[in-house]
Amino acid sequence: MLISMTGFGQGEAGDQQHSVSVEIRTVNHRFLDQSLKLPRTLNARERDIKELIKKRISRGRIYVTVSVESEAAARNVAVNVPVMERYLEQLRAFAATHQVVGEVDINTLAQLPDAVVTDEEEAAVQSLWPMVEKALAVAIERCCQMRIAEGKALEKDLKHRMTVVEKTVAQIEKLAPAVTKRHAEAFRKRVEQLVADATVDLDRLTTEIALMADRLDVTEEITRLNSHIAQFNKTLEDGGEVSKKLTYLLQEIHREASTVGAKASDSDMVQHVVALKEESEKLREQVQNLE
């Protein structure tokens, strides 16, 4: 089974005093990178949340948003006097130093970070985490299910594209012997024209033609291409975390195709080589989305 790195999941939980909502969005990334947006009351639980996600998701950039709504009765609102005094002191000092005209009013102070704090009752804080865990578990599960569904769609597309690659390699393999023979014959005729009135060492000529044919031969490249294709298909069947291995195999397919293109000077073969390289690039882009 293949797993995509693209997914989304949402979970909710609550009681009479609290309502918790968790959203998870994942996109492709080389490693596991988690970005959390939490209410201040849950900052201490950031590591716990990351660990729970890590148990189910091993790769991708993950964006997590946790929202908590609480009844007003469960809160005690208070002015953070030391912070407000410090703000006022610093702002007045700044105004005096830089000759800024104006006075700091209560509206300005009240909007500054941590000027007004909300202290939830200890019992409410303790009861909040189990609800977060429940909502998080639902969000993770739904996100993973979407990643699996996306993985199935990607697998279908990859198999189809690899079939195109196989057929293209088969066409190159079919053309190769005739292309080599044609080049060898053309080489022989050119030599004969150049030395029409001179004695030709037939053994030497035969040797040169054989050497040229060997340089044009793409049998080894075809063999390696077929091997890479077989490994690619087997890796798809095995499933799991396959992105890095598939990427490597596609790089090798692209490299072998380039070698064939460098050896071939036949228009039909070059067209097939170009098609093979284009298809391998499309495959590589798709593979980047797999876990």
Lowest average pLDDT, out of 66-70, 182-186, 194-198, goes to 194-198
Question: What integer is the mean pLDDT of 264-274?
Answer: 82
Residues 130 and 214 in one domain: no
Question: What integer is the mean pLDDT of 247-267?
Answer: 87
Residue 185 pLDDT: 64
Residues 162 and 267 in one domain: yes
Residues 96 and 188 in one domain: no
Is residue 122 predicted with pLDDT exceeding 50? no
| Residue 212: CATH number of its domain | 1.20.120
Quick check: pTM over 0.75?
Answer: no
- Answer yes or no: is 186 within a domain: yes
Residue 83 in contact with residue 114, Cβ under 8 Å? yes
Residues 176 and 250 in one domain: yes
Query: Rounded to a whole number, what is the distance in angstroms from the first to the last CA of the chain?
Result: 11
pLDDT confidence of 123, banded at 50, 70, 90?
A: very low
Look up the domain containing 56 and give its range: 7-72+123-150
Residues 43 and 110 in one domain: no
Residue 7 pLDDT: 96
* Cα 92 → chain centroid: 51
Residue 121 pLDDT: 45
Residue 28 in contact with residue 284, Cβ under 8 Å? no
Residues 172 and 133 in one domain: no
Residues 65 and 132 in one domain: yes
Residues 205 and 191 in one domain: yes
Domain count, the chain: 3
Most confident of 166-180, 201-215, 225-239: 225-239
Q: Give the residue from 14, 41, 38, 39 showing the smallest Cα distance to 122.
A: 41
Phi, psi of 32 (to 5 degrees): -95, 115
Question: What integer is the mean pLDDT of 39-57?
Answer: 90
> How does pLDDT run across 127-164, given as a tens digit for each residue?
788 999 999 999 999 999 999 999 999 999 999 999 99
Residues 101 and 61 in one domain: no
- Answer yes or no: is 204 within a domain: yes
The larger pLDDT score, comparing residue 74 to residue 138, is at 138
User: How many C-alpha atoms does 191 have within 13 Å on its Cβ side?
Assistant: 17
Lowest average pLDDT, out of 30-39, 132-141, 188-197, 230-239, goes to 188-197
> What's the residue count for the chain?
291
Residues 196 and 182 in one domain: yes
Phi, psi of 239 (to 5 degrees): 70, -165
In sequence order, what are the beta bridge partners of 98? none
Residues 131 and 18 in one domain: yes
| Residue 45: CATH number of its domain | 3.30.230
Residue 34 in contact with residue 53, Cβ under 8 Å? yes
Residue 281 pLDDT: 92
Residues 33 and 86 in one domain: no
Who's near 46: CB < 8 A, 6+ residues apart? 36, 38
- Answer yes or no: is 179 within a domain: yes
Given 58, 89, 114, which residue is the final one in a domain?
114
Phi, psi of 189 (to 5 degrees): -65, -40
Is residue 52 predicted with pLDDT exceeding 80? yes
Q: Give the residue from 161, 140, 154 showing the smallest Cα distance to 1.
A: 154
- Answer yes or no: is 1 within a domain: no
In sequence order, what are the beta bridge partners of 9? 24
Residue 211 pLDDT: 55
Question: What integer is the mean pLDDT of 264-279?
Answer: 85
pLDDT confidence of 46, banded at 50, 70, 90?
A: very high
Q: Give the residue from 134, 197, 177, 149 showing the smallest Cα distance to 264.
A: 177
Q: What is the DSSP letter of 80?
A: -
Q: Which residues of 104-118 are buried (b: 16+ CB within 10 A; e: fewer)?
A: beeeebeebeebeee
